[in-house]
A and B are shown apart, each in its own frame.
Chain A
Amino acid sequence: MRWRTNALARFIYHFGMNPEARPTASSLENLGRSTVAAYAEGVALLGFVGESAAALGQCIAHPSRMRWRPFLHNIGSAGVGALPIVGLLSFLLGVVVAYQGSGQLRQYGANIFVVDLVGISMLREFAPLITAIIIAGRSGSAYAAQIGTMAVTEEIDAMRTLGIAPLEVLVLPKILALLIVLPLLTVFADVCGVFGGMIMARAQLGVGFDEFLERFTKVVSVTTFLIGVGKAPVFAAIIAVVGCFQGFRTKGGADSVGRQTTRSVVQSIFLVIVADALFSIAFSALDL
């Protein structure tokens, strides 16, 4: 029996799980470790933002260094390719908002106010947010997976040794493409969402399309629209930077690619919602 326990101990030791060196970590220790890890990652993210900004500055100073092919490719894949899913989901969101509101509004005979409800909530909050979340899941993850795979297969190293800056080829085109595409997708989501609301308003509340649009132009100001679309570039920067950053942090084998991809989606959605909350506070302070 003794040799068996010895063998087990050696096995455990061999795989770096020495029971003496690493007793079951207390929750306090785990908290400490994850805090340190999160802090280190935050610092690294900040460093990456700085590097990307410097590379962007270089590209603006020397426009000939801009990589147009990957830029256009990213506009196609992140923008045009996302139109169906963004359109469908924001349409459904408009339907849901109008449907949920219709029960309450009908009780007070305030049917026409469904226009205010759908118009303002879609343009100001829901359309930018749902678009950003879809793009984080669709493009942010693709960025992390692409760069992560390239890191694992030594393509990033090869790029550096061939004198091609990975930031210029892999990161800047993605950031710039998303900065252009996300506001446009948000406008598309506005249209589809409001259209969903219109259909529901006619079916549930008897508010016709003409009536809906007439009131829409009166109650929804240009400011509301601009606030929604104005948030999109910020969300775009968050999604692209976090996706690329997590891709570059990939170390080791293929399993690491999956892990970093997941992290990129979780982090970018988290940061997008935090940014949206900060916008709400800022706008209310500014009385917008």
Chain B
Amino acid sequence: MPITTAKPEDAAVIEISKLSTHFGDHVVHADLDLDVHRGEIFAVIGGSGSGKSTLLREMILLHRPDAGTIRVLGVDLQNIDDAAALALRLRWGVMFQHGGLFGSLTVLENIGLPLREHRTLDDAAVDALAAQKLALTGLDPEVGAQYPAELSGGMMKRASLARALVLEPELLFLDEPTAGLDPESAGEVDQLVRKLRDGGGLTIIMITHDLDLLWQLADRVAVLGDGKVAGIGSMAELAQMDQPAIRKFFAGPRGRAALEQSKGQAVAPHAASLRR
């Protein structure tokens, strides 16, 4: 891997310090600090308006913060020039909430587009690689010839994920990967993210409200509140904390149900062995 700064474990792939953002009078981030480690699945949660989407946009160079530094893969985003920005963009993949697929291209063309733009490959090679990513995300080969408008929400997200993966990124950003999906499709996305993690090497940063996804997959979770990180840790650790911003997520009926369910899962193997 072409990273000179990489230490095998625990090397921070994203380091955010003293980040401040405001829209007019509305303060979104106030001196926010955050680190994401290599190889983990990191989730950002928070109420609407807590600035998680803005944080994501700042990490992927779509929005410039008002103050503070963000370093992604060892590169400072504040004073980055166009060439360095392009080089960095090719090292991460982004799956947008609504897919962000180009409506004028077929799914296969969408997936192959980054290759056509940035690699010198002939059309056959591009199509082969795109078809491979399509299969990786569990879509049928026929889907490749369809246009994004013909796809269901779940298929759109998978196609978007395939496009995000086509340049073999080191970092993968997922914006609400399961929002707007029926439980079955959401479960399939869970499986897919799990498969990617098990593939190794990939650091995944996601914004989500999906408690199942958080309990099952996230290694660490940051809760945003009042422009700062209110708490950070695994879901089990967060469940023990008692800051009000964090409690909100666990105190509601849905939060409690997910908590109980996760406990049940932890207990289940044990219970099974007892029965035996």
Contact = CB atoms under 8 A, between A and B. Distances in A.
Given A154-B96, A154-B97, A154-B98, A161 B103 contact: no
B209 to A, nearest CB: 18
Contacts of A155: 100-103
Given A153-B100, A157-B57, 10 more contacts: A150-B102, A154-B99, A154-B100, A155-B102, A155-B103, A158-B96, A161-B89, A162-B113, A163-B114, A164-B117
Contact of A153 (B90, B94, B103, B114): B103
Interface of B: 57, 60-62, 86, 89-90, 92, 94, 96-103, 113-114, 117-118, 163
A161 B94 CA distance: 7
Nearest to A162: B114
Contacts of B103: 149-150, 153, 155
Contacts of B118: 163
Nearest to A149: B103
Contacts of A164: 113, 117
Contacts of B117: 162-164
A60 to B, nearest CB: 17
A160 interface: yes
Interface in A29-50: none
B101 A162 contact: no
Give the interface size class of chain A: 10 to 19
B64 to A, nearest CB: 13
A178 to B, nearest CB: 19
A157 B95 CA distance: 11
Contacts of A150: 102-103
Nearest to A160: B62
B193 to A, nearest CB: 19
Nearest to B92: A161
Contacts of B86: 163
Contacts of B62: 157, 160-161
A153 B151 CA distance: 14
A149 B102 CA distance: 11
Contacts of A158: 94, 96, 100-102
A162 B118 CA distance: 9
Nearest to A164: B117
The 9 residue pairs across chains A and B that have the minimum distance between CB atoms: A158-B100, A154-B100, A154-B96, A163-B89, A161-B94, A163-B86, A162-B114, A154-B98, A161-B60
A100 B92 CA distance: 66
Nearest to B117: A164
A82 B86 CA distance: 38
Contacts of A161: 60-62, 89, 92, 94
Interface in A155-175: 155, 157-164
